[in-house]
A and B are shown apart, each in its own frame.
Chain A
Amino acid sequence: NAGVTQTPKFQVLKTGQSMTLQCAQDMNHEYMSWYRQDPGMGLRLIHYSVGAGITDQGEVPNGYNVSRSTTEDFPLRLLSAAPSQTSVYFCASSFQGRVNTGELFFGEGSRLTVL
């Protein structure tokens, strides 16, 4: 099992550019989510999904779009990148029942810099 795979690991964008961070999991998890990690602020939830075709907003959703067309994939789209979106992004997944007890499986992260 590869677990949770994120691509790319590093990306530099200019303000206003768009891009997609990819996330794939091979554990048949219903729940998938995106977090951003900023110094001194811990991990903040951007968007999440409890199954194919179902997405919802987290704590900091502005500037990001998501879709869930398959169980395995959960891409995060930045439509018009801003310097405030410079961060490390983590994709995390789990079985729905295990999310309720706090168990998430994280990818290795994608470091995004917006100039």
Chain B
Amino acid sequence: GENVEQHPSTLSVQEGDSAVIKCTYSDSASNYFPWYKQELGKGPQLIIDIRSNVGEKKDQRIAVTLNKTAKHFSLHITETQPEDSAVYFCAAVRGDTGRRALTFGSGTRLQVQP
């Protein structure tokens, strides 16, 4: 089955700096790569995703990149703000299964220092 590894497990940055979280996956058949943000005491919430035929996608201060050959993808947050502090999860999806779907990484706790 799919295996997703995520690094680092914790990340501390100063407000205004950039943050990068990296993930690798094992199943070459995975074709969607969502990112979830989990704020304290809340459930994860989808913030951005990328499809396997796209190399990069941006949404304001957030961008995701995908290297399908190397089987890794990354989340980039620019101009970080205190409200970006949360746990971030990457995931890989094999869209043809229709059932078990997502395999999550182990999570990255991002702390933005004001």
A40-B106, A109-B43 known; A102-B91 Cβ under 8 A: yes
The docked-state distance in angstroms from the alpha carbon of A100 to that of B31 is 9
Task: Please tell me if the beta carbons of B93 and A100 are within 8 angstroms of each other in the complex.
Answer: yes
Most chain A CB within a 10 A radius of its CB, from B4, B32, B96, B102: B102
| Minimal beta-carbon separation of B84 from chain A (angstroms) | 19
Most chain B CB within a 10 A radius of its CB, from A48, A100, A102, A103: A102
Residues of B within 8 A of A42 (CB): 4, 6, 89, 104-107
The docked-state distance in angstroms from the alpha carbon of A100 to that of B49 is 12
Report the count of interface residues on A (CB-CB < 8 A). Answer: 25
A/B pair count, beta carbons within 8 Å: 73
Chain A residue with the shortest CB-CB distance to B1: A59
Instruction: Classify chain B's interface size.
Output: 20 to 34
Task: Please tell me if the beta carbons of A102 and B93 are within 8 angstroms of each other in the complex.
Answer: yes
Interface string of B97-111 (1 = CB under 8 A from A): 111111011110000
Residues of B within 8 A of A102 (CB): 32-34, 46, 49, 91, 93, 101-102
Residues of A within 8 A of B99 (CB): 48, 50, 56, 99
Most chain B CB within a 10 A radius of its CB, from A45, A100, A106: A100
A–B complex contacts, Cβ < 8 Å, 11 sampled: A40-B107, A42-B106, A99-B102, A100-B32, A100-B93, A100-B95, A101-B95, A102-B32, A102-B33, A102-B91, A103-B34
Binding site for A on B (CB under 8 A): 1, 4, 6, 9, 32-34, 41-46, 49, 51, 89, 91, 93, 95-102, 104-107
